[in-house]
Amino acid sequence: MNQFLQQLVNGLSIGSIYALMAVGYSLVYSIMNFSNFAHGSVIMLGAYFGFFALTLLGLPFALAFFVAASGTALFAVALERLAYKPLRDRKAPFLYFIITAMGASIFIDNSVIATIGPTPKTFPQASLPSFLRSGSVEIGSLNVGRVDIAMFVITAICLAALVLFIDKTKMGKAIQATAYNMKASALMGINPGFVIILVFAIGGALAGVAGVLYGMKYQVYPQMSSITMKSFIAAVFGGLGSLPGALLGSVLLALIETFVSGYVSTQLRDLFAFGILIAMLVIRPQGIMGKSMEDKA
């Protein structure tokens, strides 16, 4: 029983990271209908921004967080302007967007390897507030990492804020309308260019938060973006383009992974996780909560 609860805690903590990352994929997909594979590299940059803001600039933690989130928001918007907008202007097929995104991702990752270097880094414990330092809280025989609790709370706050923003504000409504039908909403006076920038900025800011949290929990290293593939899969699982879907998909994927490796075998974990994903896509291609049937790539 103890082991079951411990594995449940392990699974939920992984799920909350997946969720924060998956939301970024889903947001962009809901508007642009393509998977922004450069998102993972933006997350990685966020971790480095946060790391250097803390260590080189010596900023207080909350400010470093803010610097990382705004840095990645700006970067994501710049990426959209430089890499995706020219394609949009030429009405290029979606495949080109995906290839461009992959290219941008490889470019960013290798730029970091070439300039900062491949060595992994960790956030110096002394620079973190006490509730974020490594170590765990014992609840009965359960060990819950302090970072995990903080991540869970921060993820919940960010996602709640995002849902409120999209449901309650005018800009949020604009995003919803554009996601529903870009042409029609443009005819109603919603500037699609603005909505796209907005979506990249929000996705980028969340990537910054996710990067810093991920870096604190594990390490900061240039190949971080490869781990975000799992969160992309979670987004597909839950239904690309749907925010609650991204959340649900993330938690489910993480729990499946944790329990398979805890009770069956670690080697079979990915086999199970991806087997369920394939089965899901065969039976319900739009994912658990996805919108209409469109090609998901």
Partner 1 sequence: MRARFAICAVLVASLALVGCAGAKKTDTIKIGWLGPQTGDSALWGQAELATLQMMSEDYNKAGGIEVNGKKYQLQIVPYDTKGDSTESVNVAKRLTSQDKVVAVVGPQGSGEAIPIAPIMNDAKIPAVATTATNPKVTVTESGSVNPYMFRACFLDPYQGKVAAYFAYTTLAKRNAAIFMTIDDPYSTGLAEYFKASFEKSGGKVVATESYTSGEKDFRSPLTKIKAAKPDVIFIPAYYNDVALIAKQARDLGIKVLLLGGDGWPSENVIDLAGGPGGALEGCLFVNHLDMQGDLAKPMRDEYKAKYNKNAELNSYMAHDALIMVIDAIQRAKSFDGVKIKAALEATDLDGVTGHIKIGPTHDPVGKTAWLIKIVGSEMKLQEKYAAVD
CA distances from 294 to 33, 169, 172, 240 (A): 8, 28, 23, 10
Q: Which of residues 264-293 bind partner 1 (CB under 8 A)?
A: 266-267, 270
What is d(CA 75, CA 97) in angstroms, rounded to the nearest whole number? 17
Interface with partner 1, residue 107, by CB under 8 A:
yes
- The beta strand positions in the chain, using DSSP E, are 136-139, 142-145
Q: Which of 66, 94, 218, 272 binds partner 1 (CB under 8 A)?
A: 218
- What is the rounded CA–CA span in Å between residue 232 and residue 224? 13
Is position 139 an interface residue for partner 1 (rule: CB under 8 A)?
Answer: no
Residue count of the chain: 297
Site string for partner 1, 240-269 (x = CB under 8 A): -----------------xx--xx---xx--
Is 119 one of the binding residues for partner 1 (CB under 8 A)? yes
* 41 binding partner 1? (CB under 8 A): no
- Provide long-range contacts, Cβ within 8 A and 24+ apart, for 100-105: 101/34, 101/35, 101/36, 101/37, 101/38, 102/37, 102/38, 104/38, 104/41, 104/79, 105/37, 105/38, 105/40, 105/41, 105/225
> Minimum distance between the CB of residue 160 and partner 1, rounded to whole angstroms?
25
39, 234 in Cβ contact below 8 A? no
Write down the least CB distance from residue 227 to partner 1, Å: 6
Instruction: Kindly state whether residue 120 participates in binding partner 1, applying the rule CB under 8 A.
Output: yes
Interface with partner 1 in residues 157-216 (CB under 8 A): none
Residues engaged in binding partner 1 (CB under 8 A): 3, 6-7, 10-11, 13-14, 106-107, 109-110, 113, 117-120, 122, 124-125, 134-136, 138, 143, 145, 218-219, 221, 223, 226-227, 257-258, 261-262, 266-267, 270
